[in-house]
Amino acid sequence: MKQLKLGLSMFRMGYHVAAWRHPNNQPDGSMDLAYFRRIAEIAEAARFDLLFMADELAIRGEDNPAGSRRRSSHVAELEPITLLSALAPLTERIGLVSTGSTTYSEPFNLARQFLSLDHLSGGRAGWNVVTSWGKEDALNFGHMDKPDYDSRYDRAAEFVDVVRGLWNSFDADAFIRDQHSGIFYDPDKMHALNHQGDFFSVQGPLHMAHSPQGEPVIFFAGDSEAGRATAARAADVVFTAKQELSDAQAFYASIKDRLPALGRAEDEVLIMPGLMPIVGRTKAEAQAKLDTLQALIDPRVGLASLYDRLGDLSGYDLDGPVPEPKDPAFRSRAEVMYKLAQREGYSIRQLYMALAAGRGHRMVVGTPEEIADEMQLWLEQRAADGFNIIPTHLPEALQDFADLVLPELRRRGLFRSDYEGTTLRQNLGLPEKSLR
Ligand SMILES: Cc1cc2nc3c(=O)[nH]c(=O)nc-3n(C[C@H](O)[C@H](O)[C@H](O)COP(=O)(O)O)c2cc1C
C-alpha cells in the first residue's frame, strides 16, 4: 500500500496568527535553538520525513491598521539555513529543508550553502525554491519595486540549472585522498560549469565533494502556470496550499500530467499540500483547542489580515456585518472575501477568524479518525502524495498530532514506523538523481 510522506512546518512558532500567545508556547522560541531542537526531536521520534522552514526576506506587510504589527511575531525569525545547520548534528534521520530565493541570491552562494548542509547532515538537505514575490523583500536588495512577474520564473529555471550543475562539479568517486601518493583528487572527475546564460555567468566548479544523496532534494512552491511548468521540470517535491479536494486533484493532475513529456516518471515528483490538523480525542475537544487560539487573536491583528482586500475596518462594529467595499483601490481585490462573508453570514470578527487560522492552508478540526480519513481520502483520490503538516502552535500541536493521529495512520498502514533509509531522498522514495 502507498504510504504518506510527511513534512513538518517549523515556521513562526506555529502557523496560527496567535501561536506565540498560546499559554503553552514559548514566546521567545523563535530565537532559541533549544526550542527548535525540542520540535525537531519530537518530529524525528514521530518519523516525519522532513523539517521545513519557510522564509521571508523582510518584515512583510505594513502596520495597517495601526498597532497590528507590534502584536505580530513575524518580526523576529532566524535565518533558516543557519538554523538547520545547527540542528543537523542534533538529529539523525529527519530531512532538513529550507526555503531559498532565486530572485535575491546568486546560484553559487545557494549551491554552496545547501550542499554544505547536505554534507553536515549526511545527505538530509532540501531546497525549497521560491521566487520571493513581494515588495518588502525587493526593498532590502536595492530594488525599488518587486521584480517583473514573468521574468522571475525564467531566472528561477536558469538558477536551478546552474545550482544543479555546481552540485555536480565532482563525480561521486573523484576524491582519492591517498596520503601515500599525495594525490587528493582525480582531475578528470572534476567539471567546471562554464555557464553563460541570460541571467548568470558562472564558471565553477564548486569546491565541494558530491552530495551523499546524489543531489539535495529540490522543493517548489508556486502555483501560476509558469510556476507549475518550472516545478514539473525541476522539482522533486511540490508544496501547495489547497482548500478543496477537487482543487487539489486538479493541481495534482496538472503537475503529474506534464511529467511524461519531460521524460520523468509519475513517482519522481511528490505533491504535498499543506494541512493544519487540530486534533482532540473528541470533536468538541478539538474545537475547544481552536477556540482557545481564536480568542487570542487581537482584533488589530485580525483586521490586518483583511486590510489588503477590504481596507481599514477598525471603525466598524466587529460583530456587525462586513461592509461593502467602497474604496475603488480595494473593490476588485475585495470581491472574493466580501462574497465569502455574505455567503456564510460572517461578521467582521468571524471573517478574520476564518482566515486567520489556516492562512490559506486546509484546516481539519476533529478526532484522530476524522483527520486520518481526510488524509487517506486525499492520498487515494490523487490529490496528495503526502502533506506538509502545519501545526497551529509548536511544539504542542505537533505532539498532539504525533500522539493521536499517527497511531491511527499506522493502524491503517498509511505511515511508517521507522525510517527506510538514512538520506532524505531515500526516505521520500525518490530516485537518486545526478547529472552524471
Ligand atoms: C505552499 C507555498 C509555500 C510558499 N512558501 C514561500 C516561502 O517560504 N517564502 C516565499 O518567499 N514565498 C513562498 N511561497 C510563494 C511562492 O514561491 C511564489 O512566489 C508565489 O506562490 C507566487 O508565485 P506563483 O504565482 O507561481 O504562485 C510559497 C507558496 C506556496 C504555494
Give the pLDDT of the chain (436 residues) as one tens digit per residue.
899 999 999 988 999 999 999 999 999 999 999 999 999 999 999 999 999 999 999 998 889 999 999 999 989 999 999 999 999 999 999 999 999 999 999 999 999 999 999 999 999 999 999 998 778 898 999 877 666 777 888 999 999 999 999 999 999 999 999 999 999 999 999 999 999 999 999 999 999 999 999 999 999 998 889 899 999 999 999 999 999 999 999 999 999 999 999 999 999 999 999 999 999 999 999 999 999 999 999 999 999 989 988 889 999 999 999 998 877 666 767 787 888 888 999 999 999 998 888 878 899 999 999 999 999 999 999 999 999 999 999 999 999 999 999 999 999 999 999 999 999 999 999 988 777 6
- What pLDDT, on a 0 to 100 scale, did the predictor assign at position 270? 98
Residues 148 and 295 placed together within one structural domain of the fold: no
Residue 344's domain comprises 285-356
Same domain, 185 and 324: no
| Cα 239 to middle of ligand 1, angstroms | 9
Q: What is the pLDDT of residue 337?
A: 83
Q: Are residues 137 and 229 in the same domain?
A: yes
What is the dihedral sign for C-alpha 135, 139, 141, 146? positive
Residue 258 lies in a domain: yes
User: Which ligand 1 atom is the nearest neighbour of the CA of 133?
Assistant: 19
Q: Quick one: which atom of ligand 1 is closest to the CA of 274?
A: 1
Q: 43-77 burial by CB neighbour count: b if 16+ within 10 A, else e? A: bbebbbbbbbbbbbbebebeebbeebbebbbbeeb
227 lines ligand 1 (CB under 6 A): yes
Q: Are residues 157 and 253 in the same domain?
A: yes
Question: What is the model's pLDDT at position 76?
Answer: 94
In a domain, 401, yes or no: yes
35/163 same-domain check:
yes
Residues 152, 291 within the same domain = no
Among residues 303, 326, 356, which one ends one of the domains? 356
Note whether residue 436 is domain-resident.
Answer: no
Contacts of 421 (CB under 8 A, 6+ apart): 427
Asked whether residue 165 falls in the same domain as residue 239, the answer is: yes
Same domain flag for 66 and 190: yes
Q: Which of 133, 135, 151, 239 is nearest to 198 (CA)?
A: 151
pLDDT of residue 147: 65
Task: Give the pLDDT confidence score for residue 191 in this predicted structure.
Answer: 97
**Residue 125 C-beta-side C-alpha neighbours within 13 Å:** 33
The 3-state secondary structure of the chain reads CCCCEEEEECHHHCCCCCHHHCCCCCCCHHHCHHHHHHHHHHHHHCCCCEEEECCCCCCCCCCCCCCCHHHCCCCCCCCHHHHHHHHHHHCCCCEEEEEEECCCCCHHHHHHHHHHHHHHCCCCEEEEEECCCCHHHHHCCCCCCCCCHHHHHHHHHHHHHHHHHHHCCECCCCEEEECCCCEEECHHHECCCCEECCCCEECCCCCCCCECCECCEEEEECCCHHHHHHHHHHCCEEEECCCCHHHHHHHHHHHHCCCHHHCCCHHHCEEEEEEEEEECCCHHHHHHHHHHHHCCCCHHHHHHHHHHHHCCCCCCCCCCECCCCCCHHHHHHHHHHHHHHHHHCCEHHHHHHHHHCCCCCEEEEECHHHHHHHHHHHHHCCCCCEEEECCCCCCHHHHHHHHHHHHHHHHCCCCCCCCCCCCHHHHHCCCCCCCC
59, 137 in Cβ contact below 8 A? no
For position 71, what pLDDT does the model report?
Answer: 94
| Burial classification of residue 80, based on how many CB atoms lie within 10 Å of its CB (0-12 exposed, 13-18 middle, 19 or more buried) | buried
Residues 6+ apart with CB under 8 A from 261: none
Domain shared by 269 and 289, yes or no:
no
Q: Name which of 8, 103, 17, 22 is nearest 68 in CA terms.
A: 17
Q: Tell me whether residue 433 is in a domain.
A: no
Counting atoms of ligand 1 from 1, which one is nearest the CA of 129? 17
Q: Which of 311, 336, 356 lies at the terminal end of a domain, its last residue?
A: 356
Nearest CA to ligand 1 atom 11: 132
**C-beta of 241 in contact with ligand 1 (< 6 A):** yes
Same structural domain, 193 and 328:
no
Whether 99 is in the pocket of ligand 1, judged by its Cβ within 6 Å, is yes
Of 356, 382, 417, which residue is a domain's last? 356
Taking the CA of residue 99 as reference, the ligand 1 atom at the shortest distance is: 8
Residue nearest to atom 18 of ligand 1 (CA): 222
- Ramachandran angles phi, psi of 172, nearest 5°: -60, -30
In a domain, 247, yes or no: yes
State whether the beta carbon of 223 lies less than 6 angstroms from ligand 1.
yes
Best of 98, 131, 141, 242 to mutate for ligand 1, by most ligand atoms within 8 A of CB?
Answer: 131
Asked if 255 and 112 sit in the same domain, the reply is: yes
Contacts 24+ apart (CB under 8 A), 74-77: 74/12, 76/30, 76/31, 77/12, 77/30
Long-range CB pairs of 26-29, under 8 A, 24+ apart, other chains included: 27/73, 29/394
What atom of ligand 1 comes closest to residue 132's alpha carbon?
11
The tally of domains found in the chain comes to: 2
Q: How far is the CA of 116 from the centre of ligand 1 (A)?
A: 24
Are 305 and 394 within one domain? Answer: no
Q: Residue 151 has what pLDDT?
A: 83
Is the distance from the beta carbon of residue 224 to the nearest atom of ligand 1 less than 6 Å?
Answer: yes
Q: Residue 242 in contact with residue 378, Cβ under 8 Å?
A: no
* Grid cell for residue 158: 536558469
In a domain, residue 336? The reply is yes
Q: What is the CATH number of the domain that holds 237?
A: 3.20.20.30
Cα–ligand 1 centroid distance for 55 (angstroms):
10
Q: Is 285 in the pocket of ligand 1 (CB under 6 A)?
A: no
Ligand 1 centroid, distance to 219 Cα (angstroms): 11
In a domain, 434, yes or no: no
